[in-house]
Structure 1
Amino acid sequence: MMDWIPIVFASFKALVLGTGMFFAIKWHFDQDKKERRAVLRASGKVAAVFTLSLLGLVLATFVLSRSIGLDLTFP
Structure 2
Amino acid sequence: MLQAASHAATARKCTKRTKTPMKALVKTEQDFYKGKIAAAQFFFNRELPKVAAQFNLLASLDRTTLDMQDAWF
Bucket of the pairwise TM-score, normalised by the shorter protein: 0.3 to 0.5
Of structures 1 and 2, the one with the larger relative CO (CA 8 A, separation 6+) is 2
Larger Rg: 1
- Could you tell me the TM-score, scaled by structure 2's length? 0.37
What TM-score do the two structures reach when normalised by structure 1? 0.36
